[in-house]
Structure 1
Amino acid sequence: MSTSLKSWGLGLAGLLGLFLLWWLLLAAFSSGEGLVALFTPQATLASLVELLQRPELFEHVLVSLKRIFIGLGLALLVGVPLGLLVGSWRNLEWATTPAFQFLRMISPLSWMPIAVMVMGVGDQPIYFLLAFAAVWPILLNTAAGVRQLDGRWLQLARSLSATRWETLRRVIVPGVLGHVLTGVRLAIGILWIVLVPCEMLGVSAGLGYYILDTRDRLAYSELMAMVLLIGVLGFLLDAAARALYARWSHGASR
């Protein structure tokens, strides 16, 4: 049996074990009737199949994905240049590291009231909160990549009289791309966690909004279906990030 096939088989077994644990826990703490019955795997999967037939669900998914990509794009625009600067200049690193670590430890969700007061209700505060959450893994991984560059590459660039722009474009950026992709994967995980509570605040579309809607309608099996769908979408986003990194690694090793 190939390693790839074995890993897929074990991964599937782990997911099935998770569903079995879900079923056993509900069976142990309920009689199978009443409110708890709406949270069972059977009821959840049945509601998920029904939800997937509703066009409005895909509109909410697209709205959430749009917010994710815009937030990630803003984080890249800020995090990569800052990471290159911090990684290149030791004095700048010493000057900024305490401030960055302080800001990184503040939960993005704690900024929600301030963001709404300053930017109003709508997508703008969500973009800010997502970008704030995602910028730190990208910035720190980019800076770490610059610091780990092989000094002989930079020495070779200098010996060939390369300009700073040429050194940046042909040596530094390709050399740190793997670290940037690692930061992107970490950022996606953080974004997906922060997105849902952000969408519960003053917006009329998105997965977080839809979860509140199912709660208000007392459609608890649909609520669990949405939780399951959010997990699946997050898993697929992470898988895409891992595939992108694996493709880069394969190309870099050739």
Structure 2
Amino acid sequence: IGGGMETSQIPLNIPAGGDRQTPYDGAHKFKNPNVISVSSWELEEPGMCEKCCLALRCSCWDKTRGYIYIRDNNSIEANDVNGATQCCSLCCVTNDQIYVHYFDRNPYSATCKPWPIPCCCFCYTDVPQIEVLDMATLCCFIKCDPCCLGKRVVIMPFEQCPPPLCCCSNRVGCCDNNCGCCGPVTGNPKLFSMFAPQPKNAAAFVQAAKNALLASVRGSAPSGSEMER
């Protein structure tokens, strides 16, 4: 190259999978060296309330940018581009809202955590679970879903309530809905946090996520069939 400039040296032997040799310590180790396999899940369509909230923030629903992956290195990755923090997507390019949650860390690990609000002054240790929440309600023993909310994926922090309410279950029972006459659907979690973004097929996603969590507890990566829809 003229002008006294030196030709830049470009390495020719670039490892296709990177050059890491340090072993992984934790649940995030790869099933196959330097390769992560994923199952990709369709996102749930927005409801009328969600569309109105997006419109008030000068935004529109973006289905092509958002995603949910269950990864075979014991983790869930998602891009919640339609979350509450997204604004003005109609007039400008907004940032991605990507997160990766490994199964040996919060929110899925059995670590000491405060109770959900309003009981956050109490602490507990339990293994959270991914569950399906039926958004319908019971009326005269008939399940009604007037808003067509369907089912949602939630993270239930515990199955049995910790002290001082250790005699109570964290699932809706006959005492909570008048023996199935009216109230929330039997078996629904009582205390939970919403998973975001929501998959279209909540039941199938929860089953695949539970299989991946179980494989993580066993100390092995989930197989392809365990991760599939």
TM-score (norm 2): 0.25
The structure where helix makes up a greater share of residues is: 1
The structure where strand makes up a greater share of residues is: 2
TM-score (norm 1): 0.23
Report 1 or 2 for greater relative contact order, CA contacts < 8 Å, sequence distance ≥ 6.
1
